[in-house]
Amino acid sequence: MTNPLMTRRQWLFGACCLSLGMSSCVSSETIEPVAIDMEAYPRDANEALARLIQGNQRFMADKPHHFHEKSSWRSLLVNAQKPYATVVGCSDSRVPPELIFDVGFGDLFTVRLAGNIIEEDVIGSLQYAVAHLHTHLVIVLGHEGCGAVTATVEEMLNKAEEPKHIESLIKSIKPGLSKLDLKQDRESLLRAAVEANVRWSMKQLLALPEAKRAIQERHVVLLGAVYELNTGQVRFLD
């Protein structure tokens, strides 16, 4: 088991040594790491979450640090990776997880589909992240102004008809919106729909026996969140 107090740089450096041979690693040790490279790898989901919240606060304040982007760091990721969180997000171009959490290469394992829907390949990707990469924190990240959620609401209001393959997205999202009050004003309805869709995705994951077991045994923490386009804040759900 990896020492929880070992820095991620040390972990990756060790993995590189195993893959490339000690001689090549000796020369790479001369690379001077930036400050965050020496931070301890998050020991659990709480520490991983705290790091993401801090990064989002920097992003909102327009003071990102842009850690883990230099070639010296990227070189450590050629033969190994150890992301500390997994994000299931939407494909929307306005919601790149690495930017809104102010992280870099190798920090997050991301799975992105329109509407952050849960399908078989998404489940497989999540299982890989937990079983092989040992990420202890999984976040389902929705966002304001989600086109897939909006299309679903419009169909529920009988105001739109979408092409065949967009209809498949709507079919995946619609069950999670069934309890919405469709008579409320549009802005409130869409905001509630986005949050309901995140909770629906979480509910589907929690229904999986493997997920139940991992959460019960405290191997994984599953959280839902909504990204606000105007403020840049990631709002975590209760």
pTM of the predicted model over 0.95: no
Q: Which two tokens stand for residue 93?
A: 């171009």
* Measured distance CA(220)–CA(211) in Å, rounded: 8
**27 occurs within a structural domain:** no
- Per-residue pLDDT for 2 more than 60? no
Q: What is the CATH number of the domain that holds 213?
A: 3.40.1050.10
From the number of C-beta atoms within 10 Å of its C-beta (0-12, 13-18, 19+), residue 137 rates as: buried
- CA angle, 143 as apex, 139 and 145 as ends, to 5°? 165
Domain that holds residue 102: 44-236
Q: What is the mean pLDDT of residues 103-109?
A: 94
- Per-residue pLDDT for 14 more than 70? no
Residue 68: other Cβ atoms inside 10 A? 22
Token pair 């489940």 in the structure block, residue: 123
**31 occurs within a structural domain:** no
Give the three-state DSSP class for 229: coil
**26 occurs within a structural domain:** no
Q: What is the mean pLDDT of the chain?
A: 86
More confident residue, 23 or 103: 103
* Measured distance CA(28)–CA(77) in Å, rounded: 12
**179 occurs within a structural domain:** yes
pLDDT of residue 35: 44
**18 occurs within a structural domain:** no
pLDDT of residue 158: 86
Q: What percent of the chain has pLDDT over 90?
A: 66
Beta strands (DSSP E) in the chain are 85-89, 108-112, 137-143, 221-227, 234-236
**105 occurs within a structural domain:** yes
**Per the structure, how many domains does the chain have?**
1
Cα end-to-end distance, the chain, whole Å: 32
**2 occurs within a structural domain:** no
**29 occurs within a structural domain:** no
Sheet holding 108-112, edge to edge: 108-112, 85-89, 137-143, 221-227, 234-236
- Per-residue pLDDT for 128 more than 60? yes
Q: What is the mean pLDDT of residues 186-201?
A: 98
pLDDT of residue 189: 98
pLDDT of residue 12: 58
- CA angle, 97 as apex, 100 and 194 as ends, to 5°? 95
Q: Which two tokens stand for residue 86?
A: 């997994």
